[in-house]
Chains A and B, each alone.
Chain A
Amino acid sequence: MSAEKAAKPKVSIIAAISKAYQDIFAEDPKVITLGEDLADPEGGGIAKITKGLSTSFGDDRVRSTPISEQAIMGAAIGASLAGYKPIAEIMLMNFTTVAMDMIVNHAAKLRFMSGGQTSVPIVIRTMTGLGYGSGGQHCDYLETWFAHTAGIKVCAASTPEDAYGLLRSAVEDPDPVIFIENLPTYHAPMAFELPDSSHRVPLGKAAIQREGSDVTLIAYARMAVEARAAAVQAAEQGVSVEVIDLRTIAPWDRETVLASARKTGRVLIAHEAVKEHGVGAEIAAVINEELFGALKKPVKRLGGAFSAVPYSKPLETAYAPDAARILAAIIELAK
């Protein structure tokens, strides 16, 4: 065990992402990064994730940009076509909407449209998540839009170890990956160790974070944190919950999900994004197609309300599922 691990038994997701950046830049000279405020003169990003990076690795590889999301994404795509591996930070997920053409029409499709002659091995890091009272345009979860686009992979971590391992795998992946980071859980110390530089989490592989036999609970990002808490409380009430963190939302791990659903016969899916037409709908549909006769109850979904994310605290709290609502749904399913 390294001295670092001994000194820091609990770490935050943000520390894991920062370490991943440092390790990636030290190991692979083809990795470059760009985004608003990323370089040191601008403070190393709004969350300071890239602090120190431009000083250590140079202004050529670590570039602050104008507030121009199309230009950011285009520059990342173009550099990737020439053999680089750019990490483009689109500060907040809502800002991906002003770069959708670059992401959806170009990053996702160039490999296919060129018949495999070109590829776009980029990572788009983006932050989001409600909890700060930032209202309707700064905290949406828009993963479904990208999961619906052939040619892009989508992932989100709920632990520091997974954040490190997923980001490293995303950078090494030959295709575009959107890496979604949850702001409200960024700084929370978690009982995970900071992994060493060989740690990887394969894309497309879910994690069974808690084994159980009565209910399968599928979540990702902050909802996986809430799901773990709800599962502990459910156990106290005698319900055994298997918690699956998808980690990669697209392509998602059917094998792990279906095996668990077959075992428990009861499935709950929770995400912060709007429930309608969400990731949960796709998972529920596949479970239905594959396991119709094996289910003990219809698949249950929890998701964000069908509204913009509201500002006022009671409304914001009511908008998305939390551990209490997840627990209530578990108990209902287990009856």
Chain B
Amino acid sequence: MVATNQYVADSATLLEIYKRAALLKANDERARKVILSGQIAMVYYSYRGQEIIPSVMGQLLRDDDTICTIYRGIHDMLGKGFPLRPLWAELAGRVTGSCKGKGGPMHLTYPPKGIMVTTGIVGSSAPIANGLAWAAQLDKSDRVSVCTFGDGASNIGAVHEAMNLASIWKLPTIFVCQNNLFAEHTTFEKMTGGQNIAGRAAGYGMPGVRVNGNDPEEMYSAFAQAVARARAGEGPTLLECMTFRFFGHNFGDDDSYIPKDQKAAAMEADPVPALRARLIADRIASEHELAAIEADIEAQIDDALEFALASPWPEPDDLRFDVFEKEIAA
């Protein structure tokens, strides 16, 4: 499939993908550090190890393309362009957060960049993504609707209902399964009949492709093809992007259920430094240039964190607002 694919990430594209991946990696590292320091107390689902997938998606999507993601989805949002200040202020629960502190890390939303829904319910991104795709069809727009979910969600009914509907309505929905081999604490192998999620697409009459989600070129090629198909009105695609989650289900859990050697091997093959090394080896960028990019990212996160922590908390009275369009009477 990939070999015959016409979509190839050139050098400039690989560098752009790296810039996003470096941001995602740095932001995750900072989030864990901030939690450990006690500066922000939050539920946090680390995506460390899965950065390449959304970095590629962000590279290929437009602002008007929409995304519905999940609680382990800050990488998806940053890849799509979620600005750091409203992101960090929301993580900190402040009124300057994108959701005024009402959503938090599991419900981050930012419509100007097409980040429409972040759900805390496994698999629920898929049915809603179809509605955004239906709207694109009605608008006669070529925008696409992406939903991301994990290997765990591929076993919940909502995802299957959504894939069937997307297929029969030829919706421009792209189902991106980030298969990190663990559904919460349980292995993909133990819980997945057929051992293959992409293969399920055949049952719904749509293309299903398994790719190495940690390989930027393979990921780019497959995702670009899915986007092109959706933009052309040819219907949905299911991508199963193989990856690995370096840490536990939620930050702070005892991840002893992840075999030590498997984890060590995955971290050894960390896709972000791998891409970095590749850029230097192929003379796409110099060590000096990449270090400057990374320093700039750290400075942007510093600024966002500082902004967040200096921002005011919401007022108790804010509970009356945004339940309905009209406020609840005091």
Q: Tell me the A residues contacting B by CB distance below 8 Å.
A: 32, 60-61, 63, 65-66, 68, 70-71, 73-84, 86, 101-102, 105-106, 110-119, 150-151, 153, 174-175
Contacts of B145 in A (CB 8 A): 78
Q: Is the CB of A84 within 8 A of B158?
A: no
Q: Is the CB of B162 within 8 A of A112?
A: no
CB of B185 closer than 8 Å to a CB of A:
no
Q: Is the CB of B161 within 8 A of A71?
A: yes
Supplied contacts A71-B130, A71-B158, A101-B158, 4 more A-B pairs, CB within 8 Å = A74-B162, A78-B134, A101-B121, A114-B322
Contacts of A71 in B (CB 8 A): 127, 130, 158, 161-162, 164-165
Contacts of B111 in A (CB 8 A): 114, 117-118
Q: Mark B105-141, 1 if CB is under 8 A from A, else 0.
A: 0010111000011011100101111111111111100
CB contact between A74 and one of B99, B126, B136, B139 (< 8 Å): that residue: B126
Q: Is the CB of B325 within 8 A of A174?
A: yes
Q: How far is the CA of A101 from the CA of B117 in the complex (A)?
A: 14
Contacts of A102 in B (CB 8 A): 124, 127-128, 158
Given A81-B128, A111-B324, A174-B325, A60-B99 contact (CB < 8 Å): no
Q: Is the CB of B97 within 8 A of A78?
A: no
CB of B66 closer than 8 Å to a CB of A:
yes
Q: How far is the CA of A116 from the CA of B121 in the complex (A)?
A: 20
Contacts of B121 in A (CB 8 A): 101, 105-106
10 A-B residue contacts at CB 8 Å? A32-B134, A65-B165, A66-B168, A74-B158, A78-B134, A81-B128, A102-B158, A115-B98, A151-B323, A174-B324
Q: Is the CB of B322 within 8 A of A115?
A: yes
Q: How far is the CA of A174 from the CA of B66 in the complex (A)?
A: 21
Residue of B nearest to A153 (CB): B324
Q: Is the CB of A61 within 8 A of B109?
A: no
Q: Is the CB of B138 within 8 A of A32?
A: yes
Q: Is the CB of A75 within 8 A of B322?
A: no
Residue of A nearest to B318 (CB): A115
Query: Distance in Å from the Cβ of A113 to the closest Cβ of chain B?
Result: 4
Given A106-B119, A114-B109, A68-B161 contact (CB < 8 Å): yes
Query: Distance in Å from the Cβ of A159 to the closest Cβ of chain B?
Result: 26
Q: Is the CB of B168 within 8 A of A81?
A: no
CB of B200 closer than 8 Å to a CB of A:
no
Q: Is the CB of B131 within 8 A of A81?
A: yes
Q: How far is the CA of A75 from the CA of B121 in the complex (A)?
A: 16
Contacts of A80 in B (CB 8 A): 131
Q: Is the CB of B133 within 8 A of A78?
A: yes
Q: How far is the CA of A75 from the CA of B128 in the complex (A)?
A: 5
Query: Distance in Å from the Cβ of A124 to the closest Cβ of chain B?
Result: 14
CB of B208 closer than 8 Å to a CB of A:
no
Contacts of A114 in B (CB 8 A): 98-99, 102-103, 107, 109, 111, 322
CB contact between B131 and one of A61, A68, A82 (< 8 Å): that residue: A82
**Contact residues of B between 316 and 330, Cβ < 8 Å to A:** 321-325
Q: How far is the CA of A151 from the CA of B322 in the complex (A)?
A: 9
CB of B54 closer than 8 Å to a CB of A:
no
Q: Is the CB of B128 within 8 A of A115?
A: no
Q: How far is the CA of A75 from the CA of B321 in the complex (A)?
A: 26
Query: Distance in Å from the Cβ of B76 to the closest Cβ of chain A?
Result: 16
CB of B257 closer than 8 Å to a CB of A:
no
CB contact between A81 and one of B103, B132, B161, B165 (< 8 Å): that residue: B132
Q: Is the CB of A111 within 8 A of B323?
A: yes
CB of B157 closer than 8 Å to a CB of A:
yes
CB of B101 closer than 8 Å to a CB of A:
yes
CB contact between A118 and one of B116, B126, B158 (< 8 Å): that residue: B116
Residue of A nearest to B143 (CB): A82
Query: Distance in Å from the Cβ of B173 to the closest Cβ of chain A?
Result: 9
Contacts of A78 in B (CB 8 A): 68, 116-117, 127-135, 145
CB contact between B127 and one of A61, A75, A174 (< 8 Å): that residue: A75
Q: How far is the CA of A83 from the CA of B138 in the complex (A)?
A: 11
Q: How far is the CA of A122 from the CA of B119 in the complex (A)?
A: 19
Contacts of B162 in A (CB 8 A): 70-71, 74
Q: Which 6 A-B pairs have the closest CB atoms?
A: A78-B131, A74-B127, A82-B135, A115-B100, A115-B99, A71-B161
